[in-house]
Structure 1
């Protein structure tokens, strides 16, 4: 596409170039389209976008460049797109996100960078995107998340880092994400997390850590996540739930620990989860639970777990009768339903 291709079309608002075999967009190609609000350049053969290619598109709100063959984005690629709100770069061959590549996109609310070959994000890559609310980096080849990777994204609410090769998250990786509400780290290769992994995520409500290689959760890992309502740790390799593992999660309502290798739950493992209403411990290898296993779960309404053997726990566990001798469920005053993975189900309601 040459400079000035669309000169004179000053009232045009939507441009769909579907079905064209464009391979390169030259600087100034869209000059004169001052009223344009949407461009669809998806499913093409675009390999190269010159700096200043979108200059003059001051009204543009949506730009779709998905499923092309773009390999690099230089500084100045998106220069002048001051009204842009949605940018779709899904399914290209980009390997690196350069520092300042998105500078000037002050109105941008959503970026899709999924299904790519990205293996490196330079420090400061997202600087200037103060309005961004959603960032999708799923299905890439990033292995390490560096300190302050997302610095400047103060309005970000949703971050998808799933289906990657991530095996390490440095301390303070998520620093500055004060508005983040949803973080998806599922299906990666992370094995361990420390107490600075999620530092500063005070607005986080949903955290997905499922389908990972996690075998250890350090004490205080979740400290500071005071708004977290949903935590998915299913399908990992954790074998032991230590005392006070979830300390600080006072707003947590749903916790999924299913499909794991858990064989032991220490007394007080769930201490502090005063708002928890749903707990899934099904499809694990738990052989023993004592009378402090569920200590502090005063709001729990539904519990899913394996059917234990008669050797591992008092037989009264099956009927969940609080008047009998078993103290395993002491403190669960409002538990209404317990479902065993074998298909057996029991209802529990404290009288009086």
Structure 2
């Protein structure tokens, strides 16, 4: 529809329906998209309701006056870094789009006056700093987009001025933690997206105040464990996304008593085990996404407890060997299970699946049964399970171990070895651990340095050289047994000593490799004269030590220095060197560490003394010159009559020219 108004060059002015994701309305529109503008046109009609100046080269957001009818402003894809206070006079503005600009800072009261603003898009800028009250006065803002910026923290005060906020988007910033109380005034928030940040820590009360929150996206962060307690503050949470986080296992009651209906835990690079009771009392859960976890090899048959409403289970594209029938039996409302693209072991454990797919009495819950392919045993590799015969009776089959460890390990002395192994079979097998010394452990025990936890996990702490050898997990039932082994080699720490050059009767040594000390209980330096049989002298090291200076040594004498690891009464040398002392000087006896603060203090004192000496010299020279300039004629005459002319006239001295002129004047 035509709009009879003066229109800026390269712009279109018309009455039409504005149809965007967040705004749909018939308006008087000025569209200057991609018009090559460097400034916002100033000859705009005061009746303009929508101004679109996207995809230009505008740097300063300087609006013409009298734009009080403006409801929609799109300045996206420009080069805006600042905007003037004229924007605060747009009292009818409902939508402000500043997407893809170069804004770095928001000051207090930046948007004051926009009291009816509903949508604010600041995504894909360079935002690093937002003052506490930058969003003050935005009482009706419902949608705030801060995605693709450089924000590394959140402030509670930001949201105090937005009591109507419902949708908050913070994806692709550099947030590292969520602190308690940030959202305690945001009780209308419905959706928050934190995807692709660097969040590692979530405090227990981080979501306090979000009673209405329905959707929470924490995907693709650095979260190592599920912060279960923090979710208890979210009574209306319906959708929770943890995709792509580096979580290694889901432990018992990881998700317990939540009201979520959709839960996603896919694309996790390290997830390998889901323990018994990991999903408990999720009475409203309808859909569970557990697919594309490339290290997920085991789900405990009792992982699901009191999950009465689950209909859709997605566990495809993992490395699961079996899907225990007990899991399906514990889900009374299950309708569809996606299990394709796993490493399926085709023994009696899959009989229930074959019967379910081939049954004519009901619809199979297995999605596309033709895609379920055998991986093992070798005799059935590549066969679709639908090609296997049906059976009407329960069969037994030999166990199969499911080790969660590699075939070989090289572990440094003093560290911890942790091996985990599960098994499947009918009847349920027992697991026994076999150690290099011939010991066999089949129950949960903790003795000295060795612990068997929940029968599935073997832990050997403070490794010694004697712990090297073959470790094995054996699964046994009435039908037979299966064994998985790993070879462990315990080696010295990669720490090396270096002797620094010295010409005195002391030796300084330094070493690298302290990053490997995290599991060490005690490190020491042992030293003595080389080829001597006397006992070593001992220095205890702290985890932060990097060098020591040994003084009061014999001159021109070779010494042996060793860094050793000590556990109980066992001593294990890590690295040794020989170093020779230089010329003897009188130093304090004993061993001292280099104190950088003392060195800095000495240097400071020397510099101050030097500056003071220079100042004294300058003052003395100034006084001499002042004394000479203030002498009377008589004094000058007396001096010149007493001093021979040849002693006074010295052209190379700095005062010779003025003295010579004075004497010549007297002679004349």
Q: What TM-score do you get using the length of structure 2 for normalisation?
A: 0.46
Q: 1:194 to 1:43 in 2, by over 3 A?
A: closer
Residue 146 of structure 1 corresponds to 179
Q: Distance in 2 between matches of 1:220 and 1:121?
A: 29
Q: Which runs of no fewer than 5 residues in structure 1 stay unpaired?
A: 325-332, 347-352
Q: Secondary structure at the match of 2:351?
A: helix
**Cα offset, 1:53, TM superposition:** 4.4
Other-structure match for 1:172: 205
Pair 1:40-2:74 in alignment: yes
Higher helix share: 2
DSSP 3-state at the match of 2:89: coil
Once the two structures are superposed, residues 276-300 of structure 1 have per-residue CA deviations (whole angstroms, 9 ceiling, x without a partner) of 0011222223335555334530000
- 1:176 and 1:345 mapped to 2: Cα distance? 51
> Is 1:196 aligned to 2:229, yes or no?
yes
Does the alignment pair 1:229 with 2:261?
yes
- Quick one: which of 85, 89, 93 aligns to 1:56? 89
- Asked if the contact 1:125/1:149 (under 8 Å) is kept, the reply is no
Alpha-carbon distance in structure 2 between the residues aligned to 1:323 and 1:93: 58
Describe the shift of the 1:17–1:307 C-alpha distance in structure 2 as closer, same or farther (beyond 3 A): closer
Say which of 316, 321, 334 aligns to 2:351. 316
Q: Which moved more, 1:80-89 or 1:12-21?
A: 12-21
**334 and 145 in structure 1: CA distance in 2 versus 1, 3 angstrom threshold:** farther
What does 1:161-310 correspond to in 2, within 5 Å?
161-226=194-259, 228-236=260-268, 237-260=270-293, 261-288=295-322, 290=324, 292-305=326-339, 306=342, 308-310=344-346
The 1:217–1:100 alpha-carbon spacing in structure 2 relative to 1, beyond 3 Å, is: farther
Aligned with 1:337 (options 366, 376, 379): 366
Q: Shift of the alpha carbon at 1:302?
A: 1.0
C-alpha deviation, 1:180, in angstroms:
1.6
**Count of aligned positions:** 330
Query: For residues 109-124 of structure 1, what are the structure 2 equivalents within 5 Å?
Result: 109-124=142-157
TM-score by length of 1: 0.83
Distance 1:8 1:92, change over 3 A: closer
| Structure 2 CA distance for partners of 1:224 and 1:25, relative to 1, 3 Å | farther
Q: Secondary structure at the match of 1:164?
A: coil
Structure 1 Cα separation of the partners of residues 344 and 138 of structure 2: 57
Write the distance in 1 (CA, Å) between the matches of 2:88 and 2:133: 17
The answer to whether the Cα contact below 8 Å between 2:257 and 2:283 also exists between their aligned partners in 1 is no
Deviation at 1:66, TM superposition (A): 1.1
Aligned to 2:160, what secondary structure does the other structure show?
A: coil
1:270–1:97 Cα change, 3 Å: farther
Query: How far apart, in 2, do the equivalents of 1:290 and 1:322 lie?
Result: 15
Q: Indicate the structure with greater strand content.
A: 2
**How far off is 1:122 after superposition?**
2.1
Give the conservation status (yes or no) of the 8 Å contact 1:150–1:175.
yes
SS in 1 for 2:352: helix
Q: Is 2:47 the partner of 1:15?
A: no
- How far the C-alpha of 1:70 sits from its partner, in A, is 0.3
The 3 A distance-change label for structure 1 pair 273 and 101 is: same
Query: 1:282 and 1:239, CA in 2 relative to 1: closer, same or farther beyond 3 A?
Result: same
Cα gap change, 1:6/1:224 in structure 2, threshold over 3 Å: closer, same or farther? farther
The answer to whether the aligner puts 1:90 opposite 2:126 as a matched pair is no
Tell me the distance in 1 between the aligned counterparts of 2:287 and 2:385.
20
**Whole-Å Cα distance in 1 between the matches of residues 257 and 163 of structure 2?**
23
Larger Rg: 2
Where relative contact order (Cα < 8 A, 6+ residues apart) is larger, the structure is 1
